[in-house]
Chain A
Amino acid sequence: MKILIIEDEKELAQNMADYLSAENYLCEFAATYAQAIEKINLYQYDCILLDLMLPGGNGLQVLQLLKEKNRQEGVIIISAKNALDDKVSGLKSGADDYLAKPFHLPELSARIYSLIRRKQFNSTNSIEQNELQIDILAKTVKVKDETVNLTRKEFELLLFFIGNKNRVVSKSALAEYLSGDIADMLDNHDFIYAHIKNLKKKLSDAGCGNYLKTLYGTGYKWEI
């Protein structure tokens, strides 16, 4: 999988690339508008991460170019300007998702994962991992062909873990994923425990292997 990170903050771009490398994504960088245009004209990508404020031009112009060329890449806007107008005009101009800075890397990883799945399998896809079967569209989970009844939030957590497999995910990243913008208004993220506990119990009751590891004081890890 090839990802183009269009971001002028090199350190941040590198952090994203480092985190995503565990998923075997190959990341390329563009730090300016001109570089972004050049890369897009030369290569094809599976996903493009786009910062709207670029030296030499606006990120929305990049979107315009992709649209004109009828390109199929999924685009996630990453913007420091958490302005609603930007989000709306970005999504209208053909972006698939919008992530406001600052964000957790697992959040980014989960969104890329889901975006690529959507694009590749034309919105009808299921994930299989050993005895576990997840139908993303129908939102159902099966273990050894037996349906496991998960709540909406448990299902979303499972997808999040799959999108961040073999990496440590902090409680704070999980809380932000479940509550969105509200998460940083809350004084504790303990409500995550209950969902994780239930998810673990339901999966193990159904005979699923113990993939979800708790790292005390740190977070959780989906190991495979």
Chain B
Amino acid sequence: MNKLLNKPLKAFTMYALLILALSIPVYYWVIDSIWLNEIDVHNQTIEGRIKDGFKNIPLTENEITHVINVWSQIQPGVKISAVSVSNIRKDSVYETIRPNTYANETYERFRGRSTYFYIHNKPYHLSVETNVEETHETVIAIATVTAVFFVLLLLGFVLLNRKIAQQIWQPFRNTLNQLKIFDLNSQKPIKLDPTTIEEFEELNEVLRKLIANNIDVYNQQKQFTENASHELQTPLALLKSKIDLLLQDKTLSKTQLESITALNIPLSRVSRINKNLLLLAKIENHQYPNEETIDLNQILNENIDILSDYASTGEISIDNGIKEPVMVKANRHLIEIMLTNLLVNGIRHNLRNGILAIDYQASTLMFSNSGTSPLNEDTLFKRFVSASTQSPNSGLGLAIVKEICHLYGWKVSYRFEKNFHHFSVSFS
């Protein structure tokens, strides 16, 4: 993943590199042109002076030859030589590279001007040459300077980028942190700090609305579950009482009575699902505030007593290995529900002549019951997803256990080992 600001940084860097690279030949061309232009003017001036000098100083032919010879000896930049008329050409400007014996460098570039003139009607050739910086030296110099500037630019970009990322994006990061800690279940609306940057303020405004909306919808949904469950209780009561009443009807046949009795089973399932949904809604709404320190083992034994008949029909033996009181701080009603659900789960999904063993060690309560194959761990604690194919159930028992554990920050887990299903609740 790339950081947002690194994207333009990369583009800026590439663009700067391209422009600076292009600037090298352009700079070279500009500097060289100015340079050559200047030298041409310089050469022209020298040429003019020499021509004027010969014109103004009256010299004999022998003296002229002598002066030219001396000149050629001591002034290497300027050459004057007698030429025949047939060799006269137009004035020209030329460049040459040749060894420079007076400098360390072996080869140097020279810019020269070649012209022809007459002294006493005899034609002479005059050439003026000036040393010019070589192409490669200029290019290297420009490239070096450009590279230095590029590095400076890059450093500037990175530093500015970092500064911008820290300062300008601060409100964005604040918002992000607030969003990270937001928990729909806690019902606390998040507080987004106001910012002077228009885009971020707009984002915050949208988020505020979105969150307020979400909380509303969530509340409505929870309220709906609770209301629906409440509303269902009365028709369920009506159905149940009607069945009880119908059983008293002496005019009904035996088969009719049996059918009516059979209605009790689905009816009790509906009423259990309803009760459980209501319970889940209430746990999520934090409607069980009264916490007290209670002995888990005592509640466990009470429930084992109630469930012992049910266990004995499947010839399942319940063995509670806890001998000492186990104190936990929680709502008594929720603890009862959690333990009952775990017990019923252990008895119900057991084998005939199976065992349900309960133990408490290292702050962990463990229910172990006989079984043949592991259950689907992914769906085990989910609502309405039965992890077993053996018997139908409301699929809410373990979801409730999980929700209660979640409420108190306990950890519920499952593993299958040596033909035993182990459900454990860790209180630490």
Contact = CB atoms under 8 A, between A and B. Distances in A.
Interface in B287-307: 287, 303, 306-307
Contact of B244 (A105, A182, A216): A105
Contacts of B394: 185
B79 interface: no
Contacts of A15: 238, 241-242, 244-245
B297 to A, nearest CB: 18
B125 to A, nearest CB: 122
A39 interface: no
B209 interface: no
Interface in B256-278: 257-258, 260-261, 264-265, 267-269, 271-272, 275, 278
B247 interface: yes
Contact of B340 (A16, A105, A182, A219): A182
B261 A217 contact: yes
A9 interface: yes
A101 B236 contact: yes
Contact of B261 (A105, A179, A188, A218): A218
A224 interface: no
A12 B242 CA distance: 8
B243 A170 contact: yes
Given A102-B271, A186-B344, A11 B244 contact: no
Interface residues of A, number: 49
Interface string A4-18: 000001011001101
A195 B309 contact: yes
A211 interface: no
A170 B244 contact: yes
B353 to A, nearest CB: 16
A105 B309 contact: no
Which of the listed residues B234, B242, B278, B310 has the most CB atoms from chain A within 10 Å of its own CB? Answer: B310
Nearest to B268: A184
A150 interface: no
A1 interface: no
Interface in A3-37: 9, 11-12, 15-16, 18-19, 22
B273 to A, nearest CB: 9
Contacts of B344: 182, 185-186
B237 A191 contact: no
Which of the listed residues B248, B348, B392 has the most CB atoms from chain A within 10 Å of its own CB? Answer: B248
Given A80-B237, A81-B230, A219-B261, A104 B275 contact: no
Which of the listed residues A19, A103, A172 has the most CB atoms from chain B within 10 Å of its own CB? Answer: A172
A41 interface: no
Nearest to B262: A217
Nearest to B258: A217
B333 interface: yes
Nearest to B279: A82
B262 to A, nearest CB: 8
Nearest to B282: A83
A153 interface: yes
Given A9-B234, A186-B344, A19 B310 contact: no
B244 A179 contact: no
Contact of A168 (B248, B272, B310): B248
B257 A217 contact: yes
Interface of B: 230, 233-234, 236-245, 247-248, 254, 257-258, 260-261, 264-265, 267-269, 271-272, 275, 278, 287, 303, 306-307, 309-310, 312-313, 333, 340-341, 344, 348, 391-394, 397
16 contacts: A12-B238, A80-B234, A84-B333, A100-B233, A103-B240, A104-B240, A105-B244, A105-B245, A169-B247, A182-B303, A182-B307, A185-B394, A185-B397, A186-B348, A187-B393, A217-B254
